[in-house]
Structure 1
């Protein structure tokens, strides 16, 4: 099999599917017959990716480039240009769309499409295949009305539906101006016609799709639109073949009117997942980065979701924003933890190319890593060492907090000072393990027992009882006491905890 045009990208994992490639393919018209989609992951060897691409004997290869795959994509393109320099390489995606702030890979490409590419990529391919090369290397993408676009959902195949996340969108754009986000560059949010969109969702459902991940930045912006979509999926929850149906939405945290609440309470467990971007509860930081958020309403909504619905809440916080401090971030974490979301995703600020937050770089002494994903290394108010500590905190939190393996033990560990205590746990754990990854499950139980008894005044019997419950919930057999071998520990709680509190207050 050969293809004159190949659309490709390197996904972060196999379970992910490229929505952008399918959109480009859907809008190629007659060129579809001369085009194929080839997806890889960032874990594939560059030489293997290059070989598989060249096996198709392409004239044009279009790459979708993001912050998480730019390094691996660069390696592939360098190989392609070394082996087959005549192959035209076209780049698109957020990582290459902001002039003059562009990565090195742009120098190795023939063309870059800046911004929306559904019509622009087709036009470029037609020119190149007809030996009519454009004079400009950088092409401004032409935005189209949503109704003019051909939807891509028919191009999710059986393998995608069976083994991958199905990405969908009911709207594009965002009216908010949060400076850390590229969506702040949008002028507004526009919605697809609901009847047309839901016909496509029903086709996917009939083909067996059960995991729908909406990529809309503001799903609950237009309530009438949101309630119609929720009702569509709720209707299918009642059918005999709806097992495993789950929908994921990104929602505005302080916007949850009664019309939405009336539907949300009807969804069964494991059917609804909300990604809630809290980011910070600090009003001064919010103002500095142009983020509009009613903190009290956000807290009330999160509390309501946890007590009145069975939705799974994934809440986000960002450390390293301009004006942020370790103490301020700790306060945001403590407030969010008390609201009880099932997951708290702790992110370190990344410098997205083109994002308005870059205007603060000089005034707030923002120092970013020169390598993707361009994580902030220090700021005027946060030291490099503090950022490293919170980075380890975040990775340990994923293991011991977000995975849900220690539902009974975690509250004992966190006590009444969640951030300070987990920071002490994190610092001590790293001092012993010198690693924040590849910790086997049984070793996790040993470590949490050892650290909790050494660092905090936790009743040993209560701790063992909670750990035993979690041990069994994780499918482990037998008595945890035998695994722990009842290690003798020395308690050194309050001195270290006071030191941690002092560090946060500095």
Structure 2
């Protein structure tokens, strides 16, 4: 056992339940038995290099003195430059300490990081870092002079790895985040798919799982500590159907009080999985990326639109909460193609639709093929696409504008339960509506996030209602507006009671029992058959779901 000390630095891109230094803790726990003096330093990119360096320096100064010290950095696209600057400041102040780095950026683009190339790091670790770091630290602790090097790492048997959660190294991370103390859980490494834009396709693609004993111990840990939410990091949780069902049964047995989030492949979904996801109350994220089979095939993702819809229909039938991902700027994709993808995705009724501009990540197959598609992209993180042969810079900006409108109106505006009902009488496609909303926001000179309190959802709802009011008036559908107002405001109040615990009083034009209990989804049919019945209601949080009471 060594009395040398180690510090692992993780700089998060944002605060929240997913801000967990799991990668650093996984590597640290593997060397903990030989180097028990380990500390984790968590920081955020908005702190800046000087503050993070000062925190690191203070942490090292306050620690129990040791013979030697090594500092490790986890490098991702969002923190590469900042981590390098902090490491340079540290190297200048403490030239005798060993600095090393790992993470996706080291694996994909090591240039400029090593001291042999003017960078601050003596050792770079590519791939899975546990075994490689143990070798490096053993040589360093023995007094061996370490030449600048790039070490390769891979772990074939995950049962050899101790649990970062049970090691105690992440206790500080949980306690520091208090109310937002979610957890990341790595059950499997490797991805059998070969998406050309993804780092995973160049890593160890063999599926490897943690031991059953560790699984049970970590699950008990989350349950005992009442962790509110757990994001399962497996790139494709349902790659092995039998294993996925077994895990879901275990979570149903022990972890019903935890909110579980999984990334799954739509084509591998089945009714048994969906029923368990629904019973667990889990949420799923599914990578559609594009609804153009040709574009999808070019990035290594065969796509059968009919089969994809069939699988998503199962989720909707079973009441599973799910979101979809789309990317714009993929090889040979166009603005019109992207708009069709948005329409296809919205018509699948996702609970949210996350849209991203393509990043051409170094080290991926796509980066090697980028010239073939005329791609011009940022040379530094996050490597976003600037233009391509099929997607001009102007059209990328138009796509980004559409993505902002979708996020504001559909996601943050919580339009999911009423969107199609309100859209239908307008006789417009989803993208037509979103682009009209973008025009509305431009006319009001409203930046997408300006003057809106994120903790007060009605501020978004008011803008959406103002937009819908003008649109229905313009299309001479003013007679539907009382019902539109009721539908949007009621669902908004219900969501606020459920998510934020906020009570809302609403002056309704129709009796909610009549509006929502009739089973009529067509607003024109409803308004033709129903008589207005003004009333005042209050929607408030309840024990299981929101409660509605009539005030007049």
Q: Does residue 1:11 correspond to 2:9, yes or no? A: no
Query: Is 1:64–2:74 an aligned residue pair?
Result: yes
- 162, 171, 177: which one aligns with 2:194: 177
Match of 2:270 in 1: 257
In structure 1, runs of 5+ residues without a counterpart are 482-506
CA contact 1:8–1:37 (8 Å) conserved in 2: yes
Structure with greater Cα Rg: 2
Asked whether 1:307 is paired with 2:317, we answer yes
- Structure 2 contact 106–124 (Cα < 8 Å) conserved: yes
What is the distance in 2 between the residues matched to 1:197 and 1:258? 25
1:88 aligns with 98
Match of 2:444 in 1: 432
Change (3 A) 1:437 1:413: farther
- Deviation readout 1:345-385 (Å, 9 max, x if unpaired): 11111121211111331121111123421111111111112
In 1, distance between residues paired with 2:417 and 2:91? 55
TM-score by length of 2: 0.79
SS in 2 for 1:97: helix
Match of 2:174? 160
d(CA) in 2 for partners of 1:361, 1:282: 19
Deviation at residue 478 of structure 1 after TM alignment: 5.7
**SS in structure 2 opposite 1:433?**
coil
* Partner residue of 1:461 out of 468, 475, 482: 482
Residues 96-116 of structure 1: per-residue CA shift (max 9 Å, x gap):
113566679972322211111
Match of 1:140 in 2: 152
In structure 1, what is the equivalent of residue 433 of structure 2?
421
Deviation at 1:209, TM superposition (A): 2.5
Q: Residues 389 and 427 of structure 1 are in contact (CA less than 8 Å); yes or no, is this contact kept in structure 2?
A: no
Structure 1 residue aligned with 2:308: 298
The structure-2 alpha-carbon separation of the partners of 1:221 and 1:102, relative to structure 1 and needing over 3 Å to count, comes to farther
1:328 equivalent to 2:337? Answer: yes
Over residues 390-443 of structure 1, what are the superposed CA-to-partner deviations in whole Å (9 max), with x where a residue is unaligned?
223323322321135345663425854001220232244135325222342454
2:89 is aligned to 79
User: In the TM superposition, what is the alpha-carbon distance from 1:329 to its structure 2 partner?
Assistant: 1.2
Displacement of 1:25 in angstroms is 1.4
* Cα shift at 1:159: 5.4
Match of 2:143 in 1: 131
Aligned-residue offset at 1:193? 3.0
Q: Which moved more, 1:13-22 or 1:132-141?
A: 132-141
* 1:99-110 correspondence to structure 2 within 5 Å: 107-110=119-122
Q: Distance in 1 between matches of 2:279 and 2:503?
A: 33
Q: Which moved more, 1:447-456 or 1:337-346?
A: 447-456
CA distance in 2, matches of 1:93, 1:280: 28
Aligned equivalents of 2:69 and 2:404: distance in 1?
43
1:369 aligns with 2:372: no
1:461, 1:142 → 2: CA distance? 62
Q: 8 Å contact 2:122–2:148 — kept in the other structure?
A: no
Q: Which has the higher contact order (CA 8 A, sep 6+)?
A: 1
**TM-score, normalization: structure 1?**
0.85
Which string of whole-angstrom CA distances, capped at 9 and with x for unpartnered residues, describes residues 54-73 of structure 1?
12147221000101222322
Matches within 5 A, 1:237-252: 242-243=256-257, 245-252=258-265
445, 450, 469: which is aligned to 2:461? 445
What value does the CA root-mean-square deviation take over the aligned residues? 2.7
Deviation at 1:451, TM superposition (A): 3.0
Aligned partner of 1:502 in structure 2 is none
What CA distance in whole angstroms lies between the structure 2 residues aligned with 1:72 and 1:395?
Answer: 27
Alignment correspondent of 1:347 = 356
Instruction: Report deviation, 1:187.
Output: 3.1
1:201 alignment partner in structure 2: 219
For residues 431 and 385 of structure 1, the distance between their equivalents in structure 2, rounded to whole angstroms, comes to 20
Rounded to whole Å, the distance in 1 between the matches of 2:369 and 2:49 is: 36
Q: CA deviation at 1:326?
A: 1.0
* Matched residue, 2:515: none
Following superposition, the deviation at residue 325 of structure 1 comes to: 0.8
Determine if contact 1:101/1:353 at 8 Å carries over to the other structure.
Answer: no
C-alpha distance in 1, partners of 2:72/2:95? 15
CA contact (8 A) 1:102 1:353 kept: no
Aligned length: 471
Any unmatched runs of 5+ in structure 2? 62-67, 497-501, 509-552
What is residue 487 of structure 1 aligned with on the other side? Answer: none
Matches of 2:403 and 2:111, distance apart in 1: 29
Alignment partner, residue 534 of structure 2: none
Q: CA deviation at 1:13?
A: 2.5
Q: How has the CA–CA distance of structure 1 residues 41 and 480 changed in structure 2, closer, same or farther, with 3 Å as cutoff? A: farther
